[in-house]
Amino acid sequence: MEVRSRDLDFGVRNGELGMGKNAIGRQMPDLLIEGGVAITMVNGEAPIPKARVLVSNGRIIGIGKVEEVRIPLDGQFEIIDAHDAIIMPGLINVHTHAAMTLFRGMADDLPLKQWLLKKIFPAEAKFLTPETVYWGALLGCLEMIASGTTCFADGYFFQDQTIRAAHAAGLRGLIAQGVIDFPAPGIPDPRENIRIAKEFIERWLGFSDRVIPGIFCHSPLTCSGQTLRNAWEISKEHQLPLQIHLSETVEEVNEIIKRYGTRPVPYLDRLGLVDGSLIAAHGVHLDSSEMARLKEKGAKIAHVPESNMKLGSGVAEISQMIEIGLTVGLGTDGCSSNNNLDLFCEMDTATKLAKVFDRNPMSLNAGVTLRMATVGGAAVLGLEKEIGTLEQGKRADIIVVDLKSPHLCPVYDPVSALVYSANGGDVKDVIVNGRVLMKDKEFMTVDADEVMGKVREISQRIGGAGSR
């Protein structure tokens, strides 16, 4: 077991820190996290008891046992106390629509088609504006911070606003402009959808090292082949991932077969879309040959079990996907079909659903599930060299999970505690790119009362007297 920096002696071996691909220079730490057990998620690494993490200029420059990672005597840095806590990589939500917090709990217990066509689409058409999307997305960011998510892949409309929100909150993200061949919020004429997406990408590309723009094609049914192909070409040109909803329901698969004479994956393949940049959300009704083709071409899966359960869509064959080596991350989907953005709860549900679906309690064990929500998510977004693990040189996207609550006592295995016992409310500190976004449960970047107040105002417009 190689532990790259566990024996790092900052004082003596400082000179080594500037070497290698992720050169970080002879930097002084600006942030210190210490006290608890660190789960690095580096393959094969055991938990580090009484760990210390040093951060400088947005990156991890040291991680190991407290006594093995020295602190420079003359250093000045912020300290995060992680005693009685777990230090781990921030969770990565690979599929959501953050601004849909606006519609949380507005329409439950309905068939997908009725839910989408009678409730969600009309509400979006009537109430989405740049202003409402901004506040909804910011509430989503706030909720993700509160529950330990440090990076998210988003697809929606008016996405300049979601980028603004992610910036204000300090989160990392792949934020994609929605493309659909119907009139959509901000795109009254669908013939403009590709142009608008292209301009969106050009406007934001390179703007930040935290937020990457992208395109999100709504689905192979709601976008024509030409639209899909155009979206793919723009994504390719800028080497960006392309997000799409894929095979969420049986009806959708059947309609594609009827319309195009083949199943969804071979259909997308024919268009040239199946490659390493494709992020397919849902994947509930993929057959074995479709999974094999996605794997062969390096396409990625965003697994969103709670949304698929709530809408009665079905159960993605996640064990089989993992077995054949498909890259899989975990997502919550939007708040109107979940109804929260808590990836800790999503992990718990994901593993239990796989076990009961497979009739095998060994399916998707705690370690595999936690990988899906961290390193798996990073790989889905193409960011595996930057985030997903706690390692020297990687971006400092770190969360601290408090263990002082009754439901997290005792701890025989911290990974089990995280997956089976914890919920998002146990997260106490959140760091993204070395910046502290939440400290001791206090939000450092966003005025939570203002955001919740704004969204309550908007919800009163949407739901009349329905909101409290």
Interacting positions 325-364 with a second copy (CB under 8 A): 335, 338-342, 345, 348-349, 351-353, 355-356, 358-363
Q: Which of residues 48-67 bind a second copy (CB under 8 A)?
A: 49
Q: Can you read off the two tokens belonging to residue 191? A: 């013939």
Indicate which single residue of 8, 17, 33, 37 sits in contact with a second copy (rule: CB under 8 A).
37
Q: What's the distance, CA 176 to chain centroid?
A: 13
Helix then strand then coil, in percent of the chain rounded to 5, is: 40, 20, 35
Indicate which single residue of 3, 8, 375, 403 sits in contact with a second copy (rule: CB under 8 A).
403
CA nearest 93: which of 178, 171, 204? 171
110 binds a second copy (CB under 8 A): yes
Whether 325 and 297 have beta carbons less than 8 Å apart is answered as no
Stretch that binds a second copy, among 229-237, 293-301, 376-384, 401-409 (CB under 8 A): 401-409
By the 10 Å C-beta count (0-12 exposed, 13-18 middle, 19+ buried), 212 is classed as buried
Residue type, 454: K
CA nearest 198: which of 223, 172, 232? 232
Q: Which of residues 65-84 bind a second copy (CB under 8 A)?
A: 84
Q: Which is nearer to a second copy, 142 or 176 (CB)?
A: 142
5 binds a second copy (CB under 8 A): no
Stretch that binds a second copy, among 159-167, 171-179, 391-399, 406-414 (CB under 8 A): 406-414
Q: Which is nearer to a second copy, 71 or 446 (CB)?
A: 446
Residue type, 412: Y
How many other β-carbons are positioned within 10 Å of the β-carbon of residue 130? 14
Q: Can you read off the two tokens belonging to residue 89? A: 């990589």
Q: Is 310 helix (H, G, I), strand (E, B) or coil?
A: helix
* Binding track over 286-315 against a second copy, x by CB under 8 A: --------------------x-xxxxxxxx
Indicate which single residue of 97, 104, 210, 263 sits in contact with a second copy (rule: CB under 8 A).
104
417 binds a second copy (CB under 8 A): yes
Whether 107 and 316 have beta carbons less than 8 Å apart is answered as no
Number of residues that bind a second copy (CB under 8 A): 82
Q: Which is nearer to a second copy, 68 or 346 (CB)?
A: 346
Stretch that binds a second copy, among 108-116, 179-187, 201-209, 254-262 (CB under 8 A): 108-116
**Whole-angstrom distance, CA of residue 446 vs CA of residue 439:** 12
448 binds a second copy (CB under 8 A): yes
Whether 277 and 240 have beta carbons less than 8 Å apart is answered as yes
Stretch that binds a second copy, among 67-75, 90-98, 386-394, 451-459 (CB under 8 A): 451-459
Stretch that binds a second copy, among 25-33, 269-277, 370-378, 402-410 (CB under 8 A): 402-410
406 binds a second copy (CB under 8 A): yes
By the 10 Å C-beta count (0-12 exposed, 13-18 middle, 19+ buried), 167 is classed as middle
Q: Which is nearer to a second copy, 26 or 461 (CB)?
A: 461
- Shortest spacing between CB 39 and a second copy, in angstroms: 12
Indicate which single residue of 54, 112, 194, 321 sits in contact with a second copy (rule: CB under 8 A).
112
- Shortest spacing between CB 139 and a second copy, in angstroms: 6
252 binds a second copy (CB under 8 A): no
Query: CA-based diameter of the chain, in Å?
Result: 70
Long-range contacts of 82-85 (CB under 8 A, 24+ apart): 82/33, 82/34, 82/35, 82/36, 82/51, 82/400, 82/429, 83/35, 83/36, 84/35, 84/36, 84/402, 84/403, 84/404, 85/35, 85/36, 85/400, 85/401, 85/402, 85/403, 85/404, 85/428
- Shortest spacing between CB 131 and a second copy, in angstroms: 15
Number of H helices, E strands in the chain: 17, 18
93 binds a second copy (CB under 8 A): no
Q: Which is nearer to a second copy, 195 or 407 (CB)?
A: 407
| 468, containing H or E segment | none
Indicate which single residue of 48, 102, 279, 430 sits in contact with a second copy (rule: CB under 8 A).
102
> Between helices 159-169 and 130-146, what is the axis angle to 10°?
40
Indicate which single residue of 25, 320, 409, 450 sits in contact with a second copy (rule: CB under 8 A).
409
- Shortest spacing between CB 426 and a second copy, in angstroms: 7
Q: Which is nearer to a second copy, 209 or 323 (CB)?
A: 323
* Binding track over 136-175 against a second copy, x by CB under 8 A: ---x--xx--xx----------------------------
Q: Which is nearer to a second copy, 46 or 79 (CB)?
A: 46
Label the pairing between strands 51-56 and 59-65.
antiparallel
467 binds a second copy (CB under 8 A): yes
Residue whose structure tokens are 């709504």: 218
